[in-house]
Amino acid sequence: MSNILVAYSTTDGHTPRICERLRLVMTQQGQVVTVVALAQADAMDLSAFDKIVIGASIRYGKHQPQVAEFIARHQALLERKSSAFFTVNIVARKPEKNRPETNPYLIKFLRQIAWKPKLLGVFAGKLDYPRYHFFDRLMIRFIMLMTSGPTDPKAVIEFTDWSQVEAFGRRVAEMP
């Protein structure tokens, strides 16, 4: 049995839902799992955890700055632990961009940080036009138009492959 921390950064609230599914799967595997926002994780004793998972959403092609900052602050500890990182983005809705080796945002992010997680994941997120502020709705519709995605301003589409999320959770649970 491992004590696992899952810390996340989110833009619109879908990443915590993914983290909760991971918690469920890993708990079913006999693990003890704590899920918190990155800001809360910063105040915790990270050395108390056997494994650390960081999940982060993308907006306009970038993770929130706090993600790289958290990783930089705790890099030495992250490298000593079994660790994993996953990203949540809409481009991962496309089969050719939904793996760590093919997702452009994950590839770019990993080039910007020194930490090398032992396990990587990429999950498609959720498109929720009605919840977005005017500017975000406009920009995201434009991006979707350019990438052949849905542009209906009333559309709410969850692209997440939950079986992929669950498989990632099992792999985290099995990490030494």
Token output for 123: 């999950």
Closest CA to 160 of 23, 28, 14: 14
Q: Which residues of the chain have pLDDT under 70?
A: none
Sequence-ordered list of residues with C-beta below 8 angstroms from that of 41, at least 6 positions apart, any chain: 5, 7, 70
pTM, rounded to two decimals: 0.94
The number of C-alpha atoms within 13 Å of 103 and in the hemisphere containing its C-beta is: 24
- What is the location of CATH 3.40.50.360 in the chain? 3-125+160-174
Average pLDDT over the chain reads 96
CATH code of domain 3-125+160-174: 3.40.50.360
pLDDT for residue 54: 98
Tally of CB atoms within 10 A around 141: 19
pLDDT tens figures, 125-173:
999 999 999 999 999 999 999 999 999 999 999 999 999 999 999 999 9
H or E element that contains 58: strand 51-59
- DSSP H helices, 60-154, are 65-80, 104-112, 134-146
Phi/psi for 157 (5° steps) reads -130, 125
